[in-house]
Structures are given as C-alpha cells and as structure tokens.
Amino acid sequence: MSETPSLLTTEVPRVSPLQAENIAAQIYGLEGSAQVLGGERDSNFCLTTLSGRAYMLRFVNPAEVPEEVDFQTAILSHLARRDSHLPVPRLQKSRSGELTPQVSVAGQNLTLRAVSYLPGTAQFQVPRSQTLMRELGDTLARLDIALSDFEHPGAKRDLLWDISDMSRLEGWIPHLTDPEQRHTISRVLDIHQQKVVPASRFLRKQVIHNDLNAHNVLVKSADPQRLAGIIDFGDALRAPLINELATALAYQLDSQGENLFQYCRPMIAAYTARQPLSEAEQHVLPELVASRLALSLLIAQHRAVLYPQNRDYILRNQAHAWGSLSRLMALSFSQTGEIFSQSCTSDWPYREQKC
C-alpha cells in the first residue's frame, strides 16, 4: 500500500457478509457462507463453499492505485509459474475470466480479488519451534528466489512500510508518550541514517514480500511445527533483498525468553543456505531489524489515532515490538552482527556456501 493521504483517510469499503456472498455467487459462481476477516484498509471475507472449499475475497480500498492492485495480482500469477509448490494463495478467475473484476456495492465501485484460502493456524497463536523457523527460513528464500526475475511498474511504491527510508518518520517521534520509546527510536533512526542509507547502493534489490510477521505465517493445525502457508502480499515492493530477512527476523525475536535470538538462528541458517548474503547485506542486517521494529511502533501508534475503530487490530504487535526492540538495543550492533554471522555458517542440508 502506498501511504498516500487519501489511502490513510479513506474508510474500509462497507461490505456486509450477505453482500459478499451474493457477489461471490454472481461473479465467481461460488455459493457459500462469508465470514468477516480483519484488515486495516480493505474489506476481507473468508467464503466457505457448499463443497467445503474456502476462498478469501478482498474488496480493495478505492483509494488504492490501480497499478498497485495489478502489481499484487501479478505477483501471485508469477509465483504460480515460477514455483508452483510454494505455499501461497492461488488466484481465482471470475466467470468471465477476470482476475480483478470490478463490482458495485451500495454505490461503491470496488475492485475485487479472490484467492484460495489456505487452511492453517496463524503462527502467533501457537508456540514457536526451531523446526518451524528452519522451514520458514527455507520457504522465504524460495519465495525470494522465485521473485528475483519479477518486474512490474507497480513495484516501485512509496510505502511507509519500507525500511529503506526512515527519515520521513522523524516528525512522528514526539507523538510517542513513552520517553524511553522516544529515546530508543530516535537512536535507531540516527543509526539508520548514518549506516544503512550510505550502504544502500551496495545492496541487491528486487521485489520482496516485505511483511512476514506472525499473522501472515500459517502453520498446520494438526502439526504446528510445520509451515502451511505465507499470505498477504499487500505490502510487497521493490527494495533491498536484505530487508526481507530483516523484517522476518524482527517478528521472530524472543522478546520475553532467555535467548533473544533462539528462533532467529535457525531461520537465518535455512534462509542463507538457499540465498547466501553478501558482505554488505550482513553488515546492515542488525540495524535493519531494529529499523523494522521502530517502524512498526511508530506507524501503529500513528494509525491507531487515525482509525480508533481498528485500534485493537492495528496495535496487535506492539507489546512484542517494544519488548524486542528494547532488548535488541541493549546489545551493541556488532554483538548482534556476530550472532547473525555465526548463524549463517550453521549446518543446513541445502547449504552450498557461507553467507
């Protein structure tokens, strides 16, 4: 999502479950029952058909740029061609063969997208395991390899959730009510400007998922140590490849356990076995993890004020984000970098070289 003023202030499309059911039957020929799903900017439903198959219906926010709507659709089409075994949603064509049909709902002209609904449990609802982290790291690497040759005009997005540029958020720091958070996040932004920005020209760039948090990772309900799927490409963009791993690691730090990095180590080992890191990418990885956590805190607090009706959903990751950031910043970045570097050299079945 490009965080344009209109998209920040445009309401989520008003669509009822009954309207979603009628539209699914009319547009896709799918008869079933619709259940509301959470979302910050779009109106989303899980449609379960009479045969038991499930689909996710997304009524896109009308302020979304059409080129970016097409971009997200094109990503899923590309992944289906490049790696058909990746556990990601599959697009559903309308009865007339469209991937993003236009529909009218109570006077609103909306773009609709339907994809397969992946069965499973959101990762945040189950205990983490190193087995799951290894599988997640390996799958994320496969995803990035599949996207390495993907190009689209909509990939170059002006997205607040892009840790390549943190400078635009400096004006939001005074709005934080916690003095310790203000001090810590100010420090993160300063270090980002001093170290990450100058290094950016040496980093590989491509389209990335950019939002691998514990709500977008599904595990198998019968076996929570196994990965079921990766969902929600709404924040994908062209950016430094290392941002992908940094974002994923930010959500897997153990903010309350004895070992902050116990779940990061196997993820790094598995990811880098398929997708080795350059020296420049290793150099900025710790700072980018801190940047993602700071970004999460700043944006969520800002958006919770704008959308009080969605406050609980928007702030769902804040306790973890602050706990992780405060513990991470208690270490030096050189210490964290050494831990990450050692993780890159860990044994893993697919390893061909060190990061």
DSSP states of 23-34 as a string? HHHHHH---EEE
Q: Is residue 354 very low, low, confident or very high in pLDDT (cuts 50, 70, 90)?
A: very low
**Is residue 2 over pLDDT 50?**
no
Task: Evaluate whether 293 touches 325 at the Cβ level (below 8 Å).
Answer: yes
**Is residue 236 over pLDDT 80?**
yes
Question: In a 3-state reduction of DSSP, which class is residue 141?
Answer: helix
The one-letter amino acid code at 263 reads: Y
Compute the distance between CA of residue 332 and CA of residue 37 in angstroms, rounded to an integer: 40
Compute the distance between CA of residue 263 and CA of residue 271 in angstroms, rounded to an integer: 13
91-98 average pLDDT score:
96
Compute the distance between CA of residue 57 and CA of residue 36 in angstroms, rounded to an integer: 10
Provide the pLDDT for residue 353. 45
Of all residues in the chain, the percent with pLDDT exceeding 70 is 94
Q: Which token pair is 98? A: 């469209």
Residue 168, phi then psi, degrees to nearest 5: -70, -15
Cα four-point dihedral sign 71, 73, 76, 77: negative
Most confident residue range from 222-226, 230-234, 284-288: 284-288
Count of C-beta atoms within a 10 Å radius of residue 67: 14
Q: Which domains does the chain have, with CATH numbers?
A: 5-116 (3.30.200.20), 121-344 (3.90.1200.10)
**Is residue 1 over pLDDT 50?**
no
321-343 average pLDDT score:
95
What global pTM score does this model have?
0.90
Residue 76, phi then psi, degrees to nearest 5: -65, -35
Q: Is residue 47 very low, low, confident or very high in pLDDT (cuts 50, 70, 90)?
A: very high
- What lies within 8 Å, CB to CB, of 193 at 6+ separation is 166, 167
Task: Evaluate whether 316 touches 224 at the Cβ level (below 8 Å).
Answer: no
Q: Which token pair is 325? A: 């950031």
Place of tokens 């080992």: 269
Would you say how long the chain is, in residues? 355
Question: In a 3-state reduction of DSSP, which class is residue 328?
Answer: helix
Provide the pLDDT for residue 9. 52
Q: Is residue 307 very low, low, confident or very high in pLDDT (cuts 50, 70, 90)?
A: confident
Q: First CA to last CA across the chain, in angstroms? A: 32
Provide the pLDDT for residue 350. 53
